[in-house]
């Protein structure tokens, strides 16, 4: 999960969903890593966080190129295959299920 060291409501949602399902993840801070910041900008057109990617173990890049995003279009909540940016809880849950990280959704 690419994000910043300071608070963000979308990061809070992503962390909660990942914790609810026990999905392990790696944090990459774009405000401390210029290369990571440039990757997020190249992928999304903005410094959009969180940007979550499915990567091979030990890697930081998506396992496959994310689906195309038209220049200037907001990446918020768009499922791009190996990547999703600024998702809602429901969008992230669907994405995690799609990639086999979870089998069933948590119900209250």
Q: Are 93 and 99 in contact (CB under 8 A)?
A: no
DSSP letter for each residue of 6-19: S--HHHHHHHHHHH
Tell whether domain 2-98 is in CATH 1.10.10.
Answer: no
Check residue 100 and report its DSSP letter.
T
pLDDT tens-digit map of 62-107: 999 999 999 999 999 999 999 999 999 999 999 999 999 999 776 6
DSSP letter for each residue of 25-65: ---EETTT-HHHHHHHHHHHSS--S-EEE-B-TT--SBSSP
Q: Which residues contact 81 (CB under 8 A, 6 or more apart)?
A: 62, 64, 66, 67
Return the bridge partners of 52, or none: 84
Number of Cβ within 10 Å of residue 102's Cβ equals 19
What token pair was written down for 33? 């890593």
pLDDT tens-digit map of 2-43: 999 998 999 999 999 999 999 999 999 999 999 999 999 999
pTM comes to: 0.93
């Amino acid at each position: 999960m690419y994000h910043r060291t300071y608070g963000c409501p979308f990061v809070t949602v992503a962390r909660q969903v990942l914790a609810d399902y026990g999905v392990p993840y790696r944090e990459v801070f774009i405000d401390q890593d210029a290369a990571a910041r440039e990757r997020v900008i190249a992928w999304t057109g903005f410094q959009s966080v969180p940007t979550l990617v499915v990567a091979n173990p030990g890697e930081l890049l998506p396992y496959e190129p994310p689906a195309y995003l038209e220049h200037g279009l907001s990446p918020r909540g768009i499922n791009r295959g190996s990547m999703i940016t600024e998702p809602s809880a429901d969008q992230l849950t669907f994405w995690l299920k799609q990639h086999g990280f979870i089998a069933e959704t948590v119900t209250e």
